[in-house]
């Protein structure tokens, strides 16, 4: 039985349902990042109040701390972090990539030094499957070879071929029937490498597919072009996940090109820098103009923060150095991206996505470059 039901299409934009062991997920969907079993500054009940149905955690970080034995002893990752919804765990490939000075890669896997204590480890595709099965996540990403923007075609081809080999090994190693496994398309910004990798991974018949290795330094327009290329090759009846992308503009553009799932640290990282996302653009809460503004962060938002607090109060929290300020904006920003994905879904179901997306992008462009 397929884990994904496609309900409607409007152009290339899609509305569907992803079926997991911890509930059905309506798509398009934004997944807040809880790298270390915690979405920074946001408690599980607050995520639920924002309408969040699935969060992301990271196998690399949880393997190093607190360790899979601790989480297994707690009854699995859901119980450990007291989260009743679905969880997707990333393989850790991006973390090893971002800590390149501490690691090397070969056909066996990633060999790296812990950023915590310098201890040596090797991540093989099989070990990463084992870690994620011990964590008990609903969706597990297979290990992939991620390369930075600007690499030559030979290195990109090597990474794509290695990613394919690792996907085969991961599939053979899987034992849990209740955990969905997603393969990751690589190939940097080379169109034919992406097409070939997507076709070869599709032939392995994974439950879902991700597009990785983008938004790592390449031009945004090129990234979107590669998303379009990948989606032309990936199966229509399976979920498509664009990894590490989560600004409102990028989400809308990627949904337009057929993406179903997103994750990013952007909403919580922005919040820690006093940047609130709104339907009309971004607010810099350190701006003096907000000191006496008694409006909510976004007058069209019904999140718990906008229902209870004013811009003036939240701006005061930042000026006073109170930790509640970043927390409140984190909750709001996560809610806004969750609602954005939900609104995109409604527009697709109603056959009005092109008009909706054009209006939203126009509002965001008009506010760009001039934080209020």
User: Which sequence positions are flagged as catalytic?
Assistant: 90, 263
C-alpha radius of gyration, the chain, whole number: 20
Whole-number Å distance between alpha carbons of 206 and 194: 17
User: CB-based contacts of 143: which residues, under 8 Å, 6+ apart?
Assistant: 91, 92, 93, 109, 110, 123, 124, 125, 128, 166, 170
The CA-atom distances, in angstroms, between 68 and each of 99, 128, 143, 182 are 21, 11, 17, 21
Cα of first residue to Cα of last residue in the chain, in angstroms, is 49
Determine phi and psi for 18, rounding to 5 degrees. Answer: -100, 120
Whole-number Å distance between alpha carbons of 263 and 53: 13
Say if CB 338 and CB 48 are below 8 A apart: no
The CA-atom distances, in angstroms, between 289 and each of 64, 198, 241, 319 are 44, 49, 39, 13
Run of H or E residues at 114: none
Say if CB 30 and CB 262 are below 8 A apart: yes
Run of H or E residues at 186: none
User: CB-based contacts of 185: which residues, under 8 Å, 6+ apart?
Assistant: 163, 194, 197, 198, 201, 209, 210, 211, 212, 230, 234
Determine phi and psi for 107, rounding to 5 degrees. Answer: -65, -20
Number of H helices, E strands in the chain: 15, 16
**Residue that has been written with the tokens 């600007």 in this structure:** 150
Side-chain half-sphere CA neighbours of 96 within 13 A: 28
């Amino acid at each position: 039985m397929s884990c994904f039901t496609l309900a409607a299409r409007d152009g290339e934009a899609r509305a569907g349902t992803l079926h997991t062991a911890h509930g059905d997920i309506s798509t398009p969907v934004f997944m807040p990042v809880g790298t270390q079993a915690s979405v920074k500054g946001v408690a599980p009940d607050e995520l639920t109040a924002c309408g969040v149905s699935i969060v992301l955690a990271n196998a690399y970080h949880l393997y190093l701390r607190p360790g899979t034995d601790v989480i297994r002893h707690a009854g699995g990752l859901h119980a450990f972090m007291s989260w009743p919804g679905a969880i997707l765990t990333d393989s850790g490939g991006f973390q090893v990539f971002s800590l390149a000075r501490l690691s090397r890669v070969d056909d066996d896997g990633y060999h790296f030094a812990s950023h915590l204590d310098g201890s040596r480890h090797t991540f093989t595709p099989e070990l990463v499957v084992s870690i994620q099965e011990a964590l008990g996540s609903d969706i597990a990403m297979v290990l992939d070879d991620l390369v930075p923007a600007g690499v030559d075609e030979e290195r990109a081809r090597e990474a794509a071929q290695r990613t394919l080999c690792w996907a085969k090994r991961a599939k053979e190693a899987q034992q849990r029937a209740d955990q969905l496994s997603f393969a990751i398309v690589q190939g940097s910004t080379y169109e034919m490498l992406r097409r070939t990798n997507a076709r070869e991974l599709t032939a392995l018949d994974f439950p879902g597919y991700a597009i990785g290795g983008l938004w790592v330094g390449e031009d945004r327009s090129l990234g979107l072009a590669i998303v379009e290329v990948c989606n032309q090759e990936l199966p229509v009846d399976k979920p498509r996940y664009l990894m590490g992308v989560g600004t409102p503009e990028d989400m809308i553009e990627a949904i337009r090109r057929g993406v179903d799932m997103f994750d990013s640290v952007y909403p919580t990282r922005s919040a820690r820098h006093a940047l609130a996302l709104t339907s009309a653009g971004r607010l810099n809460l350190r701006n003096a103009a907000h000191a006496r503004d008694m409006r909510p962060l976004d007058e069209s938002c019904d999140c718990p923060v906008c229902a209870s607090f004013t811009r003036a109060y939240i701006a005061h929290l930042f000026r006073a150095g109170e930790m509640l300020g970043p927390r409140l904006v984190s909750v709001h920003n996560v809610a806004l991206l969750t609602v954005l994905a939900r609104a995109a879904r409604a527009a697709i179901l109603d056959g009005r996505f092109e008009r909706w997306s054009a209006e939203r992008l126009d509002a965001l462009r008009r506010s760009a470059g001039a934080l209020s």
